[in-house]
Amino acid sequence: MTTQPALRIGIIGGGISGVALALDLCRHSHLEVQLFESAPAFGEVGAGVSFGANAVRAIAGLGLAEPYAQVADRTPEPWQDIWFEWRRGSDAGYLGASVAPGVGQSSVHRADFLDVLASRLPEGVARFNKRAVAVEQEGAGVRVRFTDGSDYRGDLLIAADGIKSALRNHVLEGIGAAPAAPRFTGTCAYRGMIDSLRLREAYRAAGVDEHLVDVPQMYLGLDGHILTFPVKQGRVINVVAFISDRSRPDPQWPADAPWVREASQREMLDAFAGWGDAARVLLECIPAPTHWALHDLAELPGYVHGRVALIGDAAHAMLPHQGAGAGQGLEDAWFLARLLGDPRARDAAPEALLAAYDALRRPRACRVQRTSWEAGELYELRDPQVGNDEQALGATLASRFDWLWNHDLEADLADARRRLGWEALSHCA
C-alpha cells in the first residue's frame, strides 16, 4: 500500500476567518496547513463585533462554541432574544425591536475572540512577518512569494488577507475580470468604548432610562445612526456613531489620508448636533473617539481562480450595518472546512473543490453585501419605500434580517457535494 501525500493548504491572513479556518483544517490527517500573517503577531483592529444567529451556528460548526462562549456577550434576561431595539435619535422614542430567538445580540471584542482562537493553534502552523506580494499557479501547485524573499508552495491557497488583499487581483485577472480596489462609501464612523457603570451613572444623572444601557440600542436619524451593545462580559459598552455625506454620488477618500484617525469629542458632538439627550449623553462619555472612513468592495464576479480562493473581507468586504461582515467570513471558513476536511478532498481536483465553494458561497455573500448597504439607507431614513414612516420602519426592521440569520448552510454544503459527485459515492459505500 502507498501512503498518499497530504493536501497542502496555505492560508494568507491571520484574522478571525483565517485562524478559524486553520483551526478546523488542522484536525485532519490528510491536510497539511500553514498560515501566514504579515504582522509580527496576531491582532485585530476595531472593537466590538456582532454575530447573527447564522454566524453563531458557523462558529459552533467550526468547533469553536466553547472558546467563543468564554468571551462572548449576550443580551441579559428578560431581553435575551433582542438583537437591537430601534429608537428615534431625536428623543429615543421606541420604534420597535428585532428579535433573534435563542441568540439575541451575540457580540465580542474582536481582539479577545482572535486571542482565544489563536491560542488553540498547534505549534508551527502560524508564521509571522510574512507579507504576501505575488502568487503564481504552476501546473499541479501554487506558489506565493513574500516580501522577505521567501515563498510557499502548496496545492491550494486561501486568501484571507482582508479588504486590502494583495492576492485578490490575481484571482480577478485570472478569470478575465477588472481589478478591484476598496471604495469609500461616503459613511464615516466615530467609535468608542464606555465603562458600563459610568454610562449608567451619566444616564441616571441626566434622567435617561437606564434600560438603554441594558439592551442593545440603535438610534436612527437622517443621514446618521448610533449603535450600542455590550462587550467584555457587559463591563464595557461598544459605541459606533455613523454619519453619511450624501452630497455626491461617487464619494472619494483622499489617497494619502488614513482610514482611521483620532478625533476630538467636539468634532463628534458637532456631527450629531440636534440629536436627543440619550445620544448626547452617550457621546459625552467618549472623551477620545476614533474616526473611521468606511470602505467596502463592489460585488466581485468570482472568488476563485484555479487553486486560489478569496474568503472574508478579501472577497466581500461590506458595510457593518447588518452585523454580518465577520459572520460571512466565518460562513466561508465553515463551508471550506467541510469540503476540505472530507477525506475525499485528497482525491478531488483542487480546482473543482474551490469552484463548488465559489458557486455556493458567492451569491449569498454578494446579497449580504448589497443588503448591508441597503440597511444603512433604511436606518438613516433614506430607504426609497420606507423613508421616515415610523410605522413602516418598525415593521420592516422586525423581519428584514430573518433571511440572513436563518440561512441553511447545510443545504449549500449538500449542493456542493452533489456538484463534486460525492453524494453518489456516499450512497454506494
Residues tagged active-site: 191
The helices-and-strands tally (H runs, E runs) of the chain is 16, 19
Nearest to 243 by CA among 226, 227, 259, 224: 224
Residue keyed to cell 438603554: 212
CA–CA distance, 293 with 75 (Å, rounded to integer): 29
CA distances (Å), origin 423, targets 143, 333, 418? 32, 21, 5
**Cis omega before residue 78 (within 30°)?**
yes
CA distance to 20, 64, 71, per residue, from 68 (Å): 11, 6, 6
Hey, which residues does 151 pair with through a beta bridge? 145
Q: For the beta carbon of residue 403, count every other beta carbon within 10 angstroms.
A: 13
CA pair distance 210, 330, nearest whole angstrom: 34
Contacts 24+ apart (CB under 8 A), 372-376: 372/296, 372/318, 372/319, 372/320, 372/321, 372/322, 372/324, 372/325, 373/185, 373/296, 373/318, 373/319, 373/321, 375/319, 375/321, 375/322, 375/400, 376/187, 376/225, 376/242, 376/244, 376/319, 376/321
Residue 106 C-alpha cell reads as: 451575540
Alpha-carbon separation of residue 303 from 299, 338, 361 (angstroms): 10, 18, 9
List C-alpha distances in Å: 357 to 56, 311, 420: 20, 10, 11
Rounded CA-CA distance 220/386 in Å is 13
Grid coordinates given for 426? 456516499
